[in-house]
Amino acid sequence: MKVRLMDIPNTGESFEGRDFNFELDVESINTRVNLTRENVDSQSVPPPPYVFASPIDCAVNLSREGSTVFFKGECKAKYSTPCSRCSEDLERPLLFSMEQVLKPEGRDSRREKVDDVSFGYYEDKEIDCASILEERLMLEVPYVVHCEPEDPGDCLNSDVVKKYMDKGEKEVDERFAVLKNLKLLQ
Ligand SMILES: [Zn+2]
């Protein structure tokens, strides 16, 4: 979803900008968010798989002052991913809002603020709203997702986790059992 600079009201940074509503392409989001899994080397733990459901709703408000564009955006998505403890499939909402000040990219533009997420650049007198929200969405996906107490399949009660935790406790006991026979020096 691209918006031409000339279609954005030149009202300054105000709430009188123009509203746009659109959806992100679920297929391309799913491909992209799972790419890091495929590229991870065998030494590292890959992130869990994510499946985003359609639609990924977006709302954007744009205003500008000359060539400086004020971008306000919101995104509402839903994804499923396995619990990191019990691997039960979980469904989670992903909601975020963001603001960004955008400047035209040119030979004179300085990019020292490129690491600051509240600043960005646009090309060819067009604001690529979908791409801005997609970039942020990638940052908003949590790396670790697990059951919460309110989930129906609360994994803290699952047999797999109980076994794992029992085993962990035993191992600790064995390792420190020798301490029981030690007497502190007096
Ligand atoms: Zn779980």
- Å from CA of 184 to ligand 1 middle: 43
With CA atoms as reference, report the closest residue to 161 among 59, 94, 88, 106. Answer: 88
Residue 186 lies in a domain: no
* Number of domains composing the chain: 1
Q: Rounded distance, CA 33 to CA 50, Å?
A: 7
**Better-scored residue on pLDDT, 124 or 167:** 124
Residue 184 clears pLDDT 70, i.e. is over it: no
Strand partners, 128: 2
Ligand 1 centroid vs 96 CA: distance in angstroms?
24
Answer yes or no: are the C-beta atoms of 83 and 67 closer than 8 Å.
no
pTM equals 0.76
- Per residue in 68-111, pLDDT tens? 999 999 999 999 999 888 888 899 999 999 999 999 987 655 55
How many A from CA of 169 to the centre of ligand 1?
20
Domain boundaries, position 128 = 2-149
**β strands within the chain, DSSP E:** 2-4, 18-24, 51-65, 68-82, 89-104, 119-122, 126-128
How many A from CA of 174 to the centre of ligand 1? 28
Q: Quick check: is 69 in a domain?
A: yes
In a domain, 131, yes or no: yes
Specify if 179 maps to a domain. Answer: no
For residue 25, the CA-to-ligand 1 centroid distance in Å is: 29
User: What is the distance in A from the centroid of ligand 1 to the CA of 65?
Assistant: 49
In angstroms, what is the span from residue 143 Cα to ligand 1's centroid? 15
Q: Closest by alpha carbon to 82, among 161, 164, 155?
A: 155
Question: Quick check: is 165 in a domain?
Answer: no
Environment class of residue 21 by beta-carbon count within 10 Å: exposed (0-12), middle (13-18) or buried (19+)? Answer: exposed
Residue 75, in any domain of the structure: yes
**How remote is the CA of residue 150 from the centroid of ligand 1, in Å?**
11
pLDDT 10s digits, 20-63? 999 999 999 999 988 877 777 777 777 788 999 999 999 999 99
